[in-house]
Amino acid sequence: MPTKININSKEQKLIIYIILIAATLAVFWQVNHYDFINIDDEVYVTENIHVQSGITLDGIRWAFSTTYAEFWHPLTWLSLMLDYQLYGLNAGGYHLTNLFLHILSTLLLFWLFNRMTGMVWRSAFVAALFALHPLHVESVAWIAERKDVLSAFFFMLTLCLYVYYTEKPDIKKYLLVLFCFVCGLMSKPIVVTLPIILILLDYWPLSRCHIGIESKKDNLLLWQLKEKTPFFVLSVVFSIITFYAQYPDKSGSVKDFPFPLSSRIANALVSFVTYLEKTFWPHDLIFFYPFSNQLPVWQVLGAALLIIVISIFVIAMIKRSPYLLVGWLWYAVALLPVIGIIHVGKGKHAMADRYTYLPLIGIGIMLAWGIPLLLKREDIRKKILLPAGIVVLAILAVLTWHQCSYWKNSIELFSHTLHITPDYTDGYYNRGIAYGKLGQYQLAIEDYNKTISLDVSYIQAYNNRGITYGELGQYQLAIEDFNKIIGLSPNHVKAYYNRGFTYAKLGQYKRAIEDYDKAIHLQPDYALAYYNRGLAYFLQGNNELGCRDAQKVCELGSCKLLEYANDRGLCH
């Protein structure tokens, strides 16, 4: 007879930790070789002078005072500054930091549920689903989503410390939990829903609402609210800060939402159910899901009906299976800030894979504790559920590995997105930029042409196409594009500058100077315009005006033109 191998609880948990790390690395290690993406990565790293200054006193001051990129998340900025000091502009280093944070969150999630429930394998399933689901690729593989993985790490750490606090409450533990929550909020305000998650965990699996509480507290609800009040206050404060960062204009008022409220509510209902669909069938996962103002009525009503039916079912099962309600509410509550009723961000998207990063844990809870209900016999559970769970996770890991490959670079990402959403205007535009950086100018022009055919008022596409024509020496076509921009936007500074630059290439210095004049009038500190106008004056033989512009450029931070003029004896 074969010898039965006995593995104690500690060894089981150690094996699970190792497997979680190894599986996550196997799926995501490829990001080490990936590039920056030309949406938001330039805002966060490649064109951000503050991040590229590294960790300095001025950098820390900027991180804590800025709402740049429409968020107040100083810890995210600091983490990127640290990465720059370590890796420079090597994108692989930033990707590995994201992956490292994702792995830490996975391990904390396993510890959390195992500590609360004592259920090793069910807790492992929840953690593995979080680690390996294709919907989470966007958060891990996109450098600009550092805020996602960093805030999730502090989210998990807060919950783990909260469990320690509940086991033997004292003020030091409580303050440590509160501190970690603040760190999460300073990474991304998405974690504002954490106080509600704490209350859910109090109900199940911590059972703080049932054991030993009635004898100490006259009013359970009042006690819960009192304990969680500092958390709710912080959530409100950070929500207000986020609104201010997202929507103010110079007058201090809030800009209009891009879609009517009725459309946003309809989209929220459909997106809520679509996320569920993609959880169980992760197909056609893309960077951009277009918002529709005309969703079919049957689709909206069907989504609402499904939400109501599931909600009624989990409420009806509350006494027998409280984890179903907790999981369902976790999913719903964590999705609430990003479901789209209050539109966040500047994109016209209906939903985003990254928004499921924390909510999906709720579905994992429902599956891990709910599916065993279908099999009453313990021996059958052991024979069926473990192999079935491994197969499901293996399939998800393969799908995630494949999904991750689309994030290799901008061209791969937008080509995949355009294959599924062929009318995605920004996709053609951004892929055009990527082609241009590689010197593939004809492909870039084709993408700019497609962008303009979809949106004839897409100013940046005209501007980039004009610049690309200039790179090819097709100066007249470039000028026509800049003329088009000026026709659409008469005060477009860069259009005047670029047209002036193109006229200078043609030797038409008078016209070039006129355009530089206009650009400087619209933007008095435009150093490049002064530089090129000064150069045009020198080429015209007008050294006096050229020297004046050279001096101005020097005052604005670059003395190259003045040095050029002095070397040639043009300025005295």
Amino acid letter for position 207:
S
Structure confidence at residue 223 (pLDDT): 72
CATH value at residue 472 = 1.25.40.10
Cβ atoms 472, 441 nearer than 8 A = yes
Do 137 and 103 belong to one domain? yes
Instruction: Report how far residue 103's alpha carbon sits from residue 74's, in angstroms, rounded to the nearest whole number.
Output: 22
Give the model confidence (pLDDT) of 188-237 as tens digits.
999 999 999 999 999 999 988 654 444 444 566 677 778 999 999 999 99
Structure confidence at residue 569 (pLDDT): 83
Q: Is residue 423 part of a domain?
A: no
Task: Please work out, in degrees rounded to the nearest 5, the angle formed at the alpha carbon of residue 381 by the alpha carbons of 375 and 385.
Answer: 105
Q: Is residue 424 part of a domain?
A: no
User: Taking Cα atoms as reference points, which of 320, 307, 333 lies closest to residue 370?
Assistant: 320
Do 291 and 388 belong to one domain? yes
Please spell the DSSP secondary structure of 381-430, one letter per residue. HHHHHHHHHHHHHHHHHHHHHHHHHTTSSHHHHHHHHHHH-TT-HHHHHH
Instruction: Report how far residue 200's alpha carbon sits from residue 162's, in angstroms, rounded to the nearest whole number.
Output: 13
Structure confidence at residue 259 (pLDDT): 79
Q: Is residue 118 part of a domain?
A: yes
Structure confidence at residue 346 (pLDDT): 61
* Domain final position from 489, 514, 536: 489
Instruction: Report how far residue 561's alpha carbon sits from residue 567's, in angstroms, rounded to the nearest whole number.
Output: 10
Task: Please work out, in degrees rounded to the nearest 5, the angle formed at the alpha carbon of residue 515 by the alpha carbons of 514 and 519.
Answer: 120
Three-class SS of residue 207?
coil
Do 141 and 189 belong to one domain? yes
Please spell the DSSP secondary structure of 280-346, one letter per residue. HS--S--S-EE--S---HHHHHHHHHHHHHHHHHHHHTTTT-HHHHHHHHHHHHHHGGGSSSS--SS
Please spell the DSSP secondary structure of 220-251, one letter per residue. HHHHHHHHHHHHHHHHHHHHHHHHHHHSB-TT
User: Taking Cα atoms as reference points, which of 18, 199, 9 lies closest to residue 114?
Assistant: 9
Do 483 and 543 belong to one domain? no
Amino acid letter for position 120:
V
Structural domain boundaries enclosing 543: 491-572
Torsion of CA 492, 498, 503, 506, to 10 degrees: -160
Q: Which two tokens stand for residue 183?
A: 């760190």
Do 552 and 473 belong to one domain? no
Instruction: Report how far residue 24's alpha carbon sits from residue 36's, in angstroms, rounded to the nearest whole number.
Output: 21
Instruction: Report how far residue 156's alpha carbon sits from residue 161's, in angstroms, rounded to the nearest whole number.
Output: 9
Do 283 and 310 belong to one domain? yes
Cβ atoms 366, 328 nearer than 8 A = yes
What is the pTM (predicted TM-score) of this model? 0.92
DSSP summary character for residue 254: B
Specify which residues 248 forms β-bridges with. Answer: 254
Q: Is residue 469 part of a domain?
A: yes
Q: Is residue 21 part of a domain?
A: yes
User: Taking Cα atoms as reference points, which of 184, 124, 157 lies closest to residue 365?
Assistant: 124
Residue linked to tokens 């990001």: 31
Specify which residues 290 forms β-bridges with. Answer: 349
Question: Residue ranges of the chain with pLDDT lower than 50?
Answer: 1-4, 211-217, 250-256
User: Taking Cα atoms as reference points, which of 42, 46, 25 lies closest to residue 90?
Assistant: 46
Number of domains observed in the structure of the chain: 3
3-state helix, strand, coil in the chain (%, to 5): 75, 0, 25
| 284 phi, psi to nearest 5 deg | 50, 45
Structure confidence at residue 215 (pLDDT): 43
Structure confidence at residue 211 (pLDDT): 47
Phi-psi group of 557: left, alpha or beta (phi > 0 → left; psi -120 to 50 → alpha; rest → beta) = left
Task: Please work out, in degrees rounded to the nearest 5, the angle formed at the alpha carbon of residue 346 by the alpha carbons of 344 and 352.
Answer: 60
Do 90 and 239 belong to one domain? yes
Three-class SS of residue 377?
coil
Give the model confidence (pLDDT) of 146-180 as tens digits.
999 999 999 999 999 999 999 999 999 999 999 99
Structure confidence at residue 104 (pLDDT): 98
Do 463 and 545 belong to one domain? no
Q: Which two tokens stand for residue 276?
A: 């569920």
Whole-angstrom CA distances from 464 to 430, 461, 504 are 10, 5, 18
Do 528 and 538 belong to one domain? yes
Q: Is residue 308 part of a domain?
A: yes
User: Taking Cα atoms as reference points, which of 11, 2, 16, 3 lies closest to residue 389?
Assistant: 16
Give Dmax over CA atoms of the chain in angstroms. Answer: 101
Do 32 and 131 belong to one domain? yes
Identify whether 230 is preceded by a cis peptide bond (ω within 30 of 0): no
Do 37 and 104 belong to one domain? yes
Q: Is residue 412 part of a domain?
A: no
* Domain final position from 443, 461, 489: 489
User: Taking Cα atoms as reference points, which of 508, 509, 510, 517 lies closest to residue 476?
Assistant: 508
Q: Which two tokens stand for residue 22?
A: 């190894």
Whole-angstrom CA distances from 420 to 131, 174, 321, 414 are 25, 48, 40, 10
Q: Is residue 443 part of a domain?
A: yes
Do 501 and 485 belong to one domain? no
Determine the straight-line distance between the first and last CA of the chain, rounded to whole angstroms: 100
